[in-house]
């Protein structure tokens, strides 16, 4: 099973001809390829799967997804893993 989660684009730039952004997922920020969503810009929410933004999503839907992930304890697990990797 694969999981795609929403994140908010906080910055974007072009690196070696590829549009890349910093995307924030409930406190975690990751570099993400934005080439598949040319209409997305800083401040927009996108659905990200394995490092690629695959579609835009509105803020309300993103918030609902965060609530579900948090209720399942998945955000806390990821935050803890991220801290341990630092």
pLDDT of 82 > 50? The answer is no
| pLDDT band at residue 84 using 50, 70 and 90 as cut-offs | low
Position 63 scores a pLDDT of 87
Domain boundaries, the chain: 5-85
Provide mean pLDDT across the span 18-36.
Answer: 93
- Of residues 1 and 32, more confidence is placed in 32
pLDDT of 65 > 50? The answer is yes
Categorise residue 34: left if φ over 0, alpha if ψ from -120 to 50, beta otherwise. Answer: alpha
* Fold for the domain defined by 5-85: SH3 type barrels. (2.30.30)
User: Which tens digits make up the pLDDT trace of 28-57?
Assistant: 899 999 999 999 999 999 999 999 999 999
**Whole-prediction pTM value?**
0.79
Q: Integer distance in angstroms from the first to the last C-alpha of the chain?
A: 27
């Amino acid at each position: 099973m694969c999981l795609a989660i929403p994140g908010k684009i906080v910055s974007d730039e072009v690196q070696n001809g590829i549009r890349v952004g910093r995307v924030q997922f409930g406190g975690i920020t990751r570099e993400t390829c934005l080439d598949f969503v040319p209409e997305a810009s800083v401040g927009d929410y996108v659905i990200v799967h394995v490092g690629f933004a695959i579609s835009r999503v509105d803020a309300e839907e993103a918030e609902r997804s965060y609530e579900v992930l948090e209720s399942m304890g998945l955000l806390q697990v990821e935050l803890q893993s991220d801290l341990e990797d630092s």
